């Protein structure tokens, strides 16, 4: 063992890593809710979702972590940014934030958080049946194409029809321009 290796203690690294992940989640959420510039909000949301991906990684599910990055950070925040860009110009005067509304929203959130944590803490959860201890991407891929192949096919059908629907609703003045 080299002296450097002796200095790095794996459990400490893991703890620091988890701290970073939690900080990213929490900080991102704060930015997403409290900042006044809407673009900052979206970036805060992206940061929070990065943190959530990290939490999935810590829970031993790298596949879900990658999906979180791919779908939420990659696709959804970009879509939100596009929606903001297309809706109205940024930089106008912001309306005053009403204290009453903030208080109301805050107390509802605290209530829900309290209720959920009471339930999560007070329940004896059953771990998922260990059909296999292998939760790797390879195993998930194999399941998708064997046991869950119908699910897989159905998702592709839904996507296909949704794309058609998006085309139908987005194309301008069809049939009227003839």
Contacts with another protein by CB under 8 A lie at 115, 118-119, 122-129, 146-151, 154-155, 157-158, 161-162, 164-165, 168-169, 172-175
The answer to whether 54 and 24 have CB atoms below 8 angstroms apart is yes
Q: Which is nearer to another protein, 13 or 158 (CB)?
A: 158
What are the residues whose beta carbons fall under 8 Å from the beta carbon of 26, sequence distance 6 or more? 48, 51
3-state DSSP percent of the chain in helix, strand and coil, to 5: 75, 0, 25
- Closest approach, Cβ 153 to another protein, in A, equals 9
Q: Which is nearer to another protein, 8 or 157 (CB)?
A: 157
Q: Which 3 state secondary structure label does DSSP give 133?
A: coil
Q: Which is nearer to another protein, 90 or 164 (CB)?
A: 164
- Closest approach, Cβ 124 to another protein, in A, equals 7
- Closest approach, Cβ 176 to another protein, in A, equals 9
Distance CA 68, CA 47 (A): 12
């Amino acid at each position: 063992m080299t002296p450097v290796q002796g200095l790095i203690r794996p459990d400490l690294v893991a703890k620091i890593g988890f701290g970073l992940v939690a900080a990213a989640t929490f900080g991102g959420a704060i930015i997403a809710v409290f900042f006044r510039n809407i673009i900052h909000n979206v970036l805060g949301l992206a940061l929070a979702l990065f943190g959530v991906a990290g939490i999935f990684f810590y829970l031993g599910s790298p596949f879900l972590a990658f999906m979180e990055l791919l779908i939420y950070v990659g696709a959804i925040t970009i879509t939100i940014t596009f929606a903001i860009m297309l809706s109205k110009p940024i930089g106008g005067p912001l309306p005053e934030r009403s204290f009453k509304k903030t208080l109301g929203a805050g107390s509802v959130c605290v209530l829900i958080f309290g209720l959920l944590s009471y339930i999560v803490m007070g329940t004896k959860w059953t771990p998922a049946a260990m059909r296999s201890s292998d939760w790797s991407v390879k195993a998930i891929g194999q399941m998708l194409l064997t046991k869950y192949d119908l699910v897989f096919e159905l998702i592709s059908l839904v996507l296909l029809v949704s794309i058609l629907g998006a085309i139908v609703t987005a194309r301008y003045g069809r049939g009227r321009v003839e």
